[in-house]
Chain A
């Protein structure tokens, strides 16, 4: 345990409790940064969707309009940059975060994670009684988040491109003008709109899965994204942390 990531708190022996015949310990799985990024992302997706709906199909309030479209577009672009900041931050943590934030949690590159992925698929098909025992993300959730980040990256690129059309001399056009070699402006708008719906499809499933594992399997998933703590079998935590420490040692050599 000497090479443990600094952000990981050792499971405190004195906080260990016994459930049945199993020793469970509270463990700080989600770093403050991960939780901050998660809830910032929730907020920006809600703001972006509401403002995006207005931009796509504005309601007319009457009177002088109050500069509503200009204001809403400003908020939308601002929230878009917030979203990009979240994505960049998450990418950074995928390489610099604690063991449960790093990229092997998202892509099942290890044999054990692939076995857990199959287990999770079987769990959702009612073929396993309980989900795979993992401290951080289950591998299916990890893949779903890769898909989510991919969709949000599409939103970021098409969003910058749709800003770029206002000024073809700007850096935005230099960076994303190639998009319009592939798709016409209305088609880019359609893609931007559809991916928003795909994102909400993810949200519905994500909230359901979190509720399921929290309420039925008693995994403490929902509260963990607020406080960062999960109750996990002590052995399981030690196992994952020692494996992470071993990887760090290997990398240092």
Chain B
């Protein structure tokens, strides 16, 4: 579907607006053809109808022409800068420039020229103006009074709480800011929490992933520029355009799954043939993300295509709920040692069987002894269960119950 939507409009429609090399985009050195290709791609990625492509193009052009660019403040807390790295690897270099020109990135620790007091002043000014977009990368540690992540003498929690005042939207890029991610994994020594656990009441969207895919970041920004609001989300706060479908349901190896063809070990015959990675612990069946259609690094490849099982990095509770990475079922933890479901199940069934056998042997032996002992007292033929005995036992029952 994505391919058709991309190919259709760009080839069939001639450029709608002025001459091919006029307008504000030409001034930035962007060819109209590549711009329209890009807008078609973004429109398809956002799962919008192709008829909305001109609206997307106009919104982006208008934003560039007006010069009124929304301010973007990119905050990094407990992170690895992976999402920043991902953001800087936009698919189309010239169009990534568009995006960087669409929004005024007033604070981004990794790429900004300013440092120290100047950088802090730039951020303070952007926040004071209001209407800015906050992008958060990394989780927020609450432990030790916030002492695990301090920038410019203030804790991550303080910085975040101040920054969202007057903000138009908060975009959580990466699993750490969206759900806590790796820093929040057990035993979570810094008491790391997700951004939604610290701030509420601001339009917010989660773009989880380790890292978040730049295509989804730019598409979210374009959606905001085009419609003035964040894209619709699922129960986990993730945009449906990017996280609406399960990886498994759009996986190129899905045919091998349904067929029953599985790689059993890395490098075995099935693995070399590109069979399903299910038995190697693939979490594609547990993960909602558009990796299988959008791919990574400009559509070059993505983990499952490269033969690595999905680890479910964009799900809430990653890492704890998605490990072990190379086994299908998690172990049962917290019982002294990690036990597999099979060990527990076979243990329970085996123990019950042994217990029942022992009980049965004892019962049969006692019944035989009882019958033998009673045999002389009762005239032949001896009844198997003498009624006098039975009645006497029953009569005592209510007393026993009390």
Flag if A200 contacts B383 (CB, 8 Å): no
Total A-B Cβ pairs within 8 A: 156
Nearest Cβ on chain B to A45's Cβ, whole angstroms: 13
CB-nearest residue of chain A to B318: A184
Q: Which of B286, B322, B341, B356 touches A205 (beta carbons < 8 Å)?
A: B356
**CA gap between A5 and B104 in the complex, in Å:** 80
Q: Which of A21, A132, A168, A205 touches B234 (beta carbons < 8 Å)?
A: A168
Chain A contacts for B261, CB-based, 8 A = 60, 64-65
- B interface bracket (residues with beta carbon within 8 Å of A): 35 or more
**CA gap between A193 and B348 in the complex, in Å:** 13
Flag if A197 contacts B400 (CB, 8 Å): no
Q: Is B393 engaged at the interface, CB distance under 8 Å to the other chain? A: yes
Chain B contacts for A247, CB-based, 8 A = none
**CA gap between A218 and B385 in the complex, in Å:** 9
Interface string of B344-382 (1 = CB under 8 A from A): 111011001100100110111011001000000000000
Nearest Cβ on chain B to A132's Cβ, whole angstroms: 7
From 228 to 268 in chain B, residues with beta carbon under 8 angstroms from any chain A beta carbon are 234-235, 244, 246, 249, 256-262, 264
Q: Is B394 engaged at the interface, CB distance under 8 Å to the other chain? A: yes
Q: A115-B397, A129-B389, A184-B317 are in contact. Are A197 and B328 (CB under 8 A)?
A: no
**CA gap between A114 and B400 in the complex, in Å:** 11
CB-nearest residue of chain A to B346: A197
Chain A contacts for B321, CB-based, 8 A = 183-184, 186-187
Flag if B344 contacts A66 (CB, 8 Å): no
Q: Interface on B for A, CB 8 Å cutoff?
A: 234-235, 244, 246, 249, 256-262, 264, 270, 278-279, 283, 285-288, 312, 315-317, 321-322, 328-330, 332, 341, 344-346, 348-349, 352-353, 356, 359-360, 362-364, 366-367, 370, 383-390, 393-394, 397-398, 400-401
Q: Interface on A for B, CB 8 Å cutoff?
A: 19-22, 56-58, 60-61, 64-70, 72, 114-116, 118-119, 122, 124, 126, 128-130, 132-133, 165-166, 168, 177, 181, 183-187, 189-190, 193-194, 196-198, 200-201, 204-205, 208, 211-212, 216-218
Q: Top 7 A-B pairs ranked by shortest CB distance?
A: A197-B345, A68-B260, A184-B321, A185-B286, A65-B260, A65-B259, A208-B356
Beyond contacts A115-B398, A196-B345, A205-B352: 10 other A-B pairs, Cβ-Cβ < 8 A, are: A58-B279, A60-B261, A66-B259, A67-B258, A115-B400, A129-B393, A184-B315, A184-B317, A184-B322, A194-B332
Q: Can you offer 8 A-B residue contacts whose CB atoms are under 8 A? A: A58-B260, A69-B260, A115-B400, A132-B394, A186-B328, A193-B329, A197-B341, A208-B360
